[in-house]
């Protein structure tokens, strides 16, 4: 019962948070609509927002079918990039030879345009989802690796000395010290990687695929069906925001010492008490 | 010599600079603690006191000399003594209860038993009602008491305290002194305290070792034969001031560079 008041405050302040960006968004959309109509811009150059909305509703079946393909690639590619990034970061943190020898190669790999790699990966792995998953991971793993490394090295040396003075093993130092201390950086990387994974999967489909939103956009661009290209972009953008928000939510729940106890933990505690 | 709990003899240590040159940090140190002794080590900043503690804690191995706990050599063997460092080093992602039971947890001792023991001591350490609080919500004094409780719950016969109250304001520090004296009597631990503060050293100790500038030697020892339990007003008595003067004279007699 005592929780009710601060809760209400929170909802009020949240709604205030949302108002400003929402108004800005509506203003931009309205300006876009007005300009396109008053200047009589052809639809294949820049469709008005209303036409994009109509397109999303009318072709929802096609768009969401293709979205599912893209989502599968994003999920697999993201998971792969997290796995690779995590393993690489451990090697970089614990092996100076690896750090000196392999880190420059990883940096160099990031200067290769993915758009040039994509067709080669299709030649190597065939006309299936594998090359697109790899491209997604290739785009997303680098910032993940760097943020994991930064995080795992974030803890002060005095904490490590303190753990050593307690005769802690290296494994205990990793799991009970380095890893929890790395969480803020790890989640920073995980959030950046969500948007990169969306871009990676789309590029992969654009270059060589027979399904997915990227493929749909490539087809529609060639046919000057610009409205549906924008429709696909809006759906993709909405998913990207949801993905980012979901990782942000997990971040809040994983670090109660920064963000406070999540609401379900408070409910559980008050029920237990 | 058999009555010594901790015996430090003929210790010598030099750091190796990046140029390969040896920089002597400890020239010659001998310290002896009997069980339940409270001993302070006072000296100028940067005289090598923390280096000495790192050696006793097993984190550094000296070039010469020995450190024995109850007659057993503990050189390079971490975990033999409990070490409370300058900063409280509470883990921000753990609650007070999870922080103070870190020692038993890392040693693989039963956690439920350690938590029960910790809960019983929270009141004595002024942390009652804060067992589920995160360290960021505690005051400086509470953080230091939590760090000391964690050190005590490591269940080691000897406790090293490296300037534990250096960051606290004068009032909090004075309160912590009286409280620490009580805790030491109650828990029967042998303690060595590093400090810059002559009042702190004389008030808390059975014996004060005065260290020289780096490389560290022991300039002299002062026995503090003031009867326990000492209250705050003992610091105004002639006997107290006399011991403090001896400590200060030893500090100032040490050659400075």
Q: Which residues of A fall within a CB distance of 8 Å from B106?
A: 163, 166-168, 172, 176
| Phi, psi (rounded to 5 degrees) for B38 | -120, 115
Instruction: List the one residue out of B6, B18, B42, B1 whose CA is nearest residue B210.
Output: B42
Say if the ipTM goes beyond 0.85. Answer: yes
| CA–CA separation, B136 and B134 (whole Å) | 6
Q: Pick from A158, A176, A177: which is nearest to B85 by CB?
A: A158
pLDDT digits (tens, 9 = 90+) for A242-269: 999 999 999 999 999 988 877 666 665 5
The pLDDT of residue B73 is 93
Residues of A with CB under 8 A from a CB of B: 158-159, 161-168, 172, 176-177, 180-181, 183, 255-257
Q: Are strands B207-211 and B6-16 parallel, antiparallel or unpaired?
A: unpaired
Query: In chain A, whose CA is at the least distance from the CA of B93?
Result: A257
- Does A43 score more than 70 pLDDT? yes
Closest CA to B43 of B253, B210, B222, B221: B210
What is the C-alpha separation between B146 and B171, in angstroms, rounded?
Answer: 18
Nearest residue of chain A to residue B57 (CA atoms): A165
- Which tens digit of pLDDT belongs to each residue from B34-90? 999 999 999 888 888 889 999 999 999 999 999 999 999 999 999 999 999 888 999
Distance of CA B22 to the CA centre of its chain: 28
**Alpha carbon of residue A69 to chain centroid:** 17
Q: Which residue of A has its CA nearest to B151?
A: A166
Inter-helix orientation angle A60-94/A129-152, to 10°: 40
- Output the CA angle A269-B108-B149, nearest 5 degrees: 65
Q: What local confidence, expressed as pLDDT, does residue A5 receive? A: 43
Query: Distance between CA atoms of B212 and B202, rounded to whole angstroms?
Result: 18
- Check residue A126 and give its pLDDT: 82
Of B85, B87, B106, which is closest to A168 when you measure between CB atoms?
A: B106
Q: What would the pLDDT profile of A8-37 be if each residue is shown by its tens digit?
A: 445 455 666 788 889 999 999 999 999 999
Span A135-142, average pLDDT: 92
List strands edge to edge, sheet with B6-16.
B72-73, B64-69, B6-16, B22-33, B216-223, B207-211, B38-42, B190-195, B158-162, B82-84
Q: Does pLDDT of A270 surpass 80?
A: no
CB B178 within 8 A of CB B132: no
Other C-beta atoms within 10 Å of A105: how many? 8
Mean pLDDT (chain A, rounded): 88
Question: How far are the Cα atoms of A198, B76, B88, B154 from residue B157, in angstroms, in the given order?
Answer: 58, 17, 20, 9
Q: Which of B86, B93, B106 sits opposite A166 (nearest CB)?
A: B106
State the average pLDDT over residues B214-238. Answer: 86
What is the percent of chain B where pLDDT is above 90? 64
Residues linked to residue B40 through DSSP beta bridges, in sequence order: B193, B208
Cβ pair A162:B134 closer than 8 A: no
**CA–CA separation, A96 and A94 (whole Å):** 7
Contact A77, A201 (CB under 8 A): yes
8 Å CB contact of B89 and A158 = yes
Is the torsion defined by CA of B210, B212, B214, B218 positive or negative? negative
pLDDT tens, residue by residue, A157-213: 999 999 999 999 999 999 999 999 999 999 999 999 999 999 999 988 888 778 899
Which residues sit opposite B135 in a β-bridge? none
* Contact yes or no for B135/B90 (Cβ under 8 A): yes
The pLDDT score that the predictor gives to residue B234 is 86
More confident residue, A209 or B200: B200
Q: Is the pLDDT of residue A118 over 90?
A: no
- Record: contact A165-B58, CB cut-off 8 A: yes
pTM as predicted: 0.84
């Amino acid at each position: 019962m005592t929780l009710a008041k601060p809760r209400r405050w929170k909802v009020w302040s949240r709604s205030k948070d949302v108002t400003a960006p929402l108004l800005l968004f509506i203003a931009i959309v309205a300006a876009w609509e007005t300009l396109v109509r008053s200047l009589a811009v052809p639809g294949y150059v820049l469709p008005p927002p209303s036409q994009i909305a109509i397109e999303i509703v009318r072709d929802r079946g096609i768009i969401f079918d293709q979205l599912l393909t893209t989502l599968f690639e994003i999920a697999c590619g993201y998971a792969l990039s997290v796995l690779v990034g995590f393993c690489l970061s451990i090697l970089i943190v614990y092996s100076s030879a690896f750090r000196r020898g392999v880190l420059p190669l990883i940096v160099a790999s990031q200067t290769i345009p993915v758009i040039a790699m994509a067709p080669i990966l299709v030649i190597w792995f065939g006309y299936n989802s594998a090359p697109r998953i790899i491209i997604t991971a290739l785009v997303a793993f680098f910032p993940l690796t760097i943020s994991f490394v930064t995080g795992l090295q974030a803890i002060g040396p005095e904490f490590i000395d303190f753990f050593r003075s307690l005769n802690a093993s290296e494994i205990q130092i990793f799991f009970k010290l380095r890893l929890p201390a790395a969480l803020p950086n790890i989640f920073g990387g995980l959030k950046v990687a969500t948007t990169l994974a969306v871009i990676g999967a789309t590029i992969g489909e654009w270059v060589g695929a027979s399904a997915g939103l990227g493929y749909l956009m490539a087809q529609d661009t060639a046919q000057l069906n610009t409205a549906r290209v924008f429709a696909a972009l809006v759906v993709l953008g909405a998913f990207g925001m949801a993905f980012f928000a979901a990782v942000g939510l997990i971040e809040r729940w994983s670090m109660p010492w920064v963000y406070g106890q999540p609401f379900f933990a408070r409910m559980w505690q008050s029920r237990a008490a | 010599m058999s009555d010594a709990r901790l015996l430090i003899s003929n210790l010598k240590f030099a750091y190796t600079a990046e140029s390969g040159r040896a920089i002597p940090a400890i020239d010659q140190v001998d310290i002896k603690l009997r069980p339940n002794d409270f001993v302070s080590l006072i000296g100028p900043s940067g005289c090598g006191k923390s280096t000495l503690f790192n050696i006793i804690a097993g984190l550094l191995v000296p070039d010469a000399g020995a450190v024995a706990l109850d007659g057993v050599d503990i050189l390079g063997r971490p975990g033999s003594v409990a070490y409370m460092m300058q900063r409280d080093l509470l883990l921000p992602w753990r609650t007070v209860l999870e922080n103070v039971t870190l020692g038993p947890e890392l040693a693989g001792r039963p956690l439920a038993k350690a938590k029960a023991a910790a809960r019983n001591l929270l009141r004595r350490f002024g942390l009652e009602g804060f067992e589920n609080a995160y360290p960021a919500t505690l005051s400086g004094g509470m953080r230091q008491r939590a760090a000391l409780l964690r050190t005590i719950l490591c269940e080691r016969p000897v406790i090293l305290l490296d300037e534990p109250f250096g960051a606290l304001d004068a009032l909090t520090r004075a309160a912590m002194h009286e409280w620490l004296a009580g805790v030491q009597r109650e828990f029967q631990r042998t303690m060595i305290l590093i400090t810059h503060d002559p009042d702190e050293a004389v008030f808390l100790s059975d014996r004060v070792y005065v260290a020289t500038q780096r490389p560290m030697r022991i300039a002299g020892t002062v026995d503090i034969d003031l009867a326990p339990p000492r209250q705050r007003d003992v610091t105004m008595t002639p006997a107290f001031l006399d011991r403090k003067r001896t400590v200060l004279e030893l500090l100032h007699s040490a050659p400075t560079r």
